[in-house]
Chains A and B, each alone.
Chain A
Amino acid sequence: MTSSTRNNQAALPASDAAPDEVVIDCRVEKIFYGNFLAVRDSHLPILKNRITGFIGPSGCGKSTVLKSINRMNDLVRNFRFYGHIHFEGQDLYDKKVDPVTVRRHIGMVFQQPNPFSMSIYENVAFGLRLNRYRGDYDARVEEALRRAALWDEVKDKLRNNGMSLSGGQQQRLCIARAIATRPPVLLMDEPCSALDPIATRQVEELMVELKKDYTLVIVTHNMQQAQRVADRTAFFSVDITRGGRTGYLVEMGETTELFANPGEELTREYLSGQFS
């Protein structure tokens, strides 16, 4: 399959920097919801301290793959995953692995801002408490809020309810909540789709800032956003030839390379807006 050959090329060391380290090696064979084959045959190596963008038309399985990485899909009834996702020397779908533990190591930011109906402080401290952190909560909360570029706006109202913030602030609060425990990987499922352009720009700047310490994977339906923030981009498409609507990875590579010089006709058509 063409996708895998291209993957291998892309996974080679970048020309100048040190060899890229693969943090998550995601090899999807098949993902089912009940009898519905949602995604097939997609190999996605996620590189450390990079932003990997998933793009593609609706129903191409990009969110499904993303949510498989931290096993959020286990919450969906009748979800079945065939394949392997290697992270820190573990297969995340090994029977011995507890999905709850996976989610504590691989954080997630959702499409809709979803702060808890509790104070801003408690929202950020939530993960710390879950992990039974015994240290300076105030310092951790402040650090997370600073990193999420929200501190200056909320430092005087940490006791206010997280729901009282604006949409963009709520999303940054959710990012602060996700990074407070410093998970090495952060997944973001269309994190800006509910935000206005200014808030979108703030969150995008934040992502670029965060990649110094975190590995980020974002799903976006906005190709400009992928170009602005993603170092590497994976393009998914929908296969309707076999009667279903099955998503699969078409190709994956450095963003600049993929947009300037797509290896597949399908990618070229989609990126130039000719996709039907």
Chain B
Amino acid sequence: MASPETDRKAGAGGSICRPPTAADRLADRVFRGLTCAFAWLTLLLIGYIVWRIGGTALPAMKRLGIGFLTGTTWDPNQQKYGILPEIWGTLYSSLLALSIGGFFGVAIAIFLSEDFLPDRIRVVLKATVELLAAIPSVVYGLWGIYILIPMIRPLANWLHVHLGWLPFFSTSLTGPGMFPAALVLSIMILPTVAAISQDALGAIPARTREAAFGLGATRWETILRVLLPTASRGIFSALVLGFGRALGETMALAMLIGNSNRLTLSLFSPADTLAALLALNFPEASNLEVGVLMYAAVILLTITLLVNIAGEMIISFSARPGGGRS
């Protein structure tokens, strides 16, 4: 039985304050160790993937060299490989998708975050936009082939007939091609851009809006001159992520772009992208061709990594004290 003295020591004044127990400390260390391990595992995994792909691609890299990037023919029978049209097609389709999807995505973000709508309608609209991200890529592809292409063909051919002297409209749209692919791609990146831009706009403190309105800015002046510049870093990240997604998107593009090894500015001509090339060629690939496909995969990986790193760097270089998304 505890003496009155130890009793007083243990619970002076009825205080129940205690140091953490040994079990608490152990749990803390285990938890920290686990999170640390998983974080490093991610890095290791990326390293491993790059290493293995690079390793498999090495024979093809040695054999084809840098000419692989500038060549324009792809002929497994003669063992001639070049992916310049695919690189071009990847960048062109993604840039087109980014300009269409980025514009509408940011517009949607403004509309949904700036108090234009009653809350109930806004919640429904927001969920609908996010639902676009839940549609499987292959469904987009089918929709593009059987519904979108027939729908836009009259417009495309009208443009070709009347504005055919512009390089963008220099061919007619007969089936799959760059424009339908880019359109579907822009719908696919729309939810990403909209959701992240919306977060960036929503993170602007209410007092910033108050300041603009207090100076006598109209709603549009507030949005264009204060809110968009303030959220510019967040919106830029949204665009970079959307672009990254567009670069790597495969299924819908493989179905819609036409898979034709052409280097063209025309929006209505079939073209090809790196991702589609990989998806369509791997079933019949034999020894060297596997290496060639891996080489192309390395290029695609490099492009996406470069885009993301460049985006991160631009964001952190433009970091402003107290500004941006915080």
- Contact of A100 with B216 in the complex, beta carbons under 8 Å: yes
Contact residues in B for A129 (Cβ distance below 8 Å): 225
- Contact of A112 with B217 in the complex, beta carbons under 8 Å: no
A225 within 8 A of B: no
- Contact of A164 with B216 in the complex, beta carbons under 8 Å: no
Q: How large is the interface on B (under 10, 10 to 19, 20 to 34, 35 or more residues)?
A: 20 to 34
The residue among A112, A116, A126, A163 with the most chain B CB atoms within 10 A of its own CB is: A116
Please provide the chain A residues from 104 to 157 with a CB less than 8 Å away from any CB of chain B in the complex.
Answer: 104-105, 107-108, 110, 112, 114-118, 126-127, 129-131
Nearest neighbor of B209 in chain A, beta-carbon distance: A75
A113 to B208, CA, bound (A): 9
A117 to B229, CA, bound (A): 8
A174 within 8 A of B: yes
A229 within 8 A of B: no
- Contact of A103 with B215 in the complex, beta carbons under 8 Å: yes
Contact residues in B for A104 (Cβ distance below 8 Å): 215-216
Contact residues in B for A178 (Cβ distance below 8 Å): 214-215
Contact of A164 among B205, B229, B321 (CB under 8 A): B321
A108 to B212, CA, bound (A): 10
- Contact of A161 with B208 in the complex, beta carbons under 8 Å: no
Nearest neighbor of B217 in chain A, beta-carbon distance: A130
Nearest neighbor of A104 in chain B, beta-carbon distance: B216
- Contact of A174 with B211 in the complex, beta carbons under 8 Å: yes
Q: B184 → chain A, closest Cβ, in Å? A: 36
Q: What's the dominant secondary structure at chain A's contact region?
A: helix
- Contact of A116 with B211 in the complex, beta carbons under 8 Å: yes
B322 within 8 A of A: yes
- Contact of B321 with A72 in the complex, beta carbons under 8 Å: no
- Contact of A72 with B217 in the complex, beta carbons under 8 Å: no
Contact residues in A for B205 (Cβ distance below 8 Å): 114
- Contact of A177 with B207 in the complex, beta carbons under 8 Å: no
- Contact of B215 with A126 in the complex, beta carbons under 8 Å: yes
Q: B324 → chain A, closest Cβ, in Å? A: 7
- Contact of B216 with A115 in the complex, beta carbons under 8 Å: no
Contact of A116 among B212, B218, B221 (CB under 8 A): B212
The residue among B214, B218, B221 with the most chain A CB atoms within 10 A of its own CB is: B214
A92 to B226, CA, bound (A): 26
- Contact of A127 with B216 in the complex, beta carbons under 8 Å: yes
B323 within 8 A of A: yes
Q: A20 → chain B, closest Cβ, in Å? A: 27
Contact residues in A for B229 (Cβ distance below 8 Å): 116-118
A222 within 8 A of B: no
A129 to B215, CA, bound (A): 11
B8 within 8 A of A: no
- Contact of A72 with B230 in the complex, beta carbons under 8 Å: no
A199 to B306, CA, bound (A): 47
A70 within 8 A of B: yes
A129 to B221, CA, bound (A): 10
A114 to B321, CA, bound (A): 14
Q: What's the dominant secondary structure at chain B's contact region?
A: helix
A90 within 8 A of B: no
B320 within 8 A of A: yes
- Contact of B321 with A101 in the complex, beta carbons under 8 Å: no
Contact with A along B173-217 (1 / 0, CB 8 A): 000000000000000000000000000000001011011111111
Contact of A72 among B213, B221, B225 (CB under 8 A): B213
Contact residues in A for B324 (Cβ distance below 8 Å): 117
- Contact of B216 with A110 in the complex, beta carbons under 8 Å: no
- Contact of A163 with B320 in the complex, beta carbons under 8 Å: yes
A105 to B214, CA, bound (A): 10
A112-B207, A174-B211, A178-B215 are known contacts. Are A130 and B322 too (CB-CB below 8 A)? no
A1 to B17, CA, bound (A): 58
A116-B226, A161-B321 are known contacts. Are A100 and B218 too (CB-CB below 8 A)? yes
Contact residues in B for A115 (Cβ distance below 8 Å): 211
Please provide the chain A residues from 168 to 197 with a CB less than 8 Å away from any CB of chain B in the complex.
Answer: 174, 177-178, 181
A177 to B229, CA, bound (A): 18
- Contact of A110 with B211 in the complex, beta carbons under 8 Å: yes
A1 to B321, CA, bound (A): 52
Contact residues in A for B320 (Cβ distance below 8 Å): 117, 161, 163-164
A75-B213, A110-B210, A110-B211 are known contacts. Are A163 and B225 too (CB-CB below 8 A)? no
A116-B211, A161-B321 are known contacts. Are A130 and B216 too (CB-CB below 8 A)? yes
Contact residues in B for A110 (Cβ distance below 8 Å): 207, 210-211, 214
- Contact of A163 with B321 in the complex, beta carbons under 8 Å: yes
A200 to B217, CA, bound (A): 28
Per CB-CB distance, the 8 closest pairs between chain A and chain B, nearest first, are: A104-B216, A117-B323, A163-B322, A103-B216, A114-B207, A108-B214, A114-B211, A164-B321
A-B contact pairs, 5 of them (CB 8 A): A100-B218, A105-B216, A107-B214, A161-B320, A164-B321
User: Which residues in A have some Cβ–Cβ distance to B below 8 Å?
Assistant: 70, 72, 75, 100-105, 107-108, 110, 112, 114-118, 126-127, 129-131, 161, 163-164, 174, 177-178, 181
User: Which residues in B have some Cβ–Cβ distance to A below 8 Å?
Assistant: 205, 207-208, 210-218, 221, 225-226, 229-230, 320-324
Given pairs A114-B211, A126-B215, 13 additional interface contacts (CB within 8 A): A72-B213, A72-B214, A103-B216, A104-B216, A108-B214, A110-B210, A115-B211, A117-B208, A117-B324, A126-B225, A127-B216, A177-B211, A178-B214
